[in-house]
Amino acid sequence: MTLAVYPGSFDPLTNGHVDIILRGARLFDRIVVAILKNAEKAPLFTMAERVDIIRSVFKEQPNVEVDTFDGLLVDFVAKRNAQVIVRGLRAVSDFEYEFQMALMNQRLNDRIQTIFMTPAEQYTYISSRLIKEVFALGGRVHGLVPDMVEARLREKVG
């Protein structure tokens, strides 16, 4: 049984994340979406809200699970008895940081393998930060985030 962990802040979940999670769910027996606590000092969505959103979006996918963690990612992955860390690559700009993290995590625990996945082309430019920025300025984010996220953004940001 291959268990994968997909870590991130997911503030909020975007259709880019959804795409990667669905690809992971097809490739691995189980994928744990692991939300990092205290990643940002002032997140837009609380931890409970982010957990709730991801659980709702994937309620029909029995092999997608949501968990939270802090501290070293490799410690969380080992604790969960997972073998794989999934990361998404959108552009060359993601590569340098992701490569550095993957090598450090490999040094910290060589039994855990980082796997990079690319999303469908139409999602390659989406980030949570950009979604929040565009939405706050009155821009349309329909189709870039799950409907539930769009609704929650409207409640929160107006």
Ligand X SMILES: Nc1ncnc2c1ncn2[C@@H]1O[C@H](COP(=O)(O)OP(=O)(O)OP(=O)(O)O)[C@@H](O)[C@H]1O
Binding site for ligand X (CB under 6 A): 8-11, 14, 16-17, 20, 87-88, 90, 94, 119, 123, 126-129
Q: Which is nearer to ligand X, 87 or 152 (CB)?
A: 87
Minimal distance in Å, beta carbon 78 to ligand X?
A: 19
For 80: left if phi > 0, alpha if psi spans -120 to 50, otherwise beta; the answer is alpha
Which one of 17, 50, 132, 152 is the catalytic residue?
A: 17
What stretches of 43-83 adopt beta strand conformation (E)? 64-69
Q: Which is nearer to ligand X, 78 or 98 (CB)?
A: 98
Q: Does residue 128 have an active-site annotation?
A: yes
Picking from 6, 51, 55, the residue whose alpha carbon sits closest to that of residue 27 is 6
Q: Which is nearer to ligand X, 1 or 102 (CB)?
A: 102
Torsion angle (degrees, nearest 10) of CA 121, 14, 83, 104 = 80
Q: Does residue 90 have an active-site annotation?
A: yes
Contact 144, 17 (CB under 8 A): no
Minimal distance in Å, beta carbon 69 to ligand X?
A: 13
CA–CA separation, 112 and 38 (whole Å): 24
Which one of 23, 50, 128, 132 is the catalytic residue?
A: 128
Catalytically annotated residues? 17, 41, 90, 128
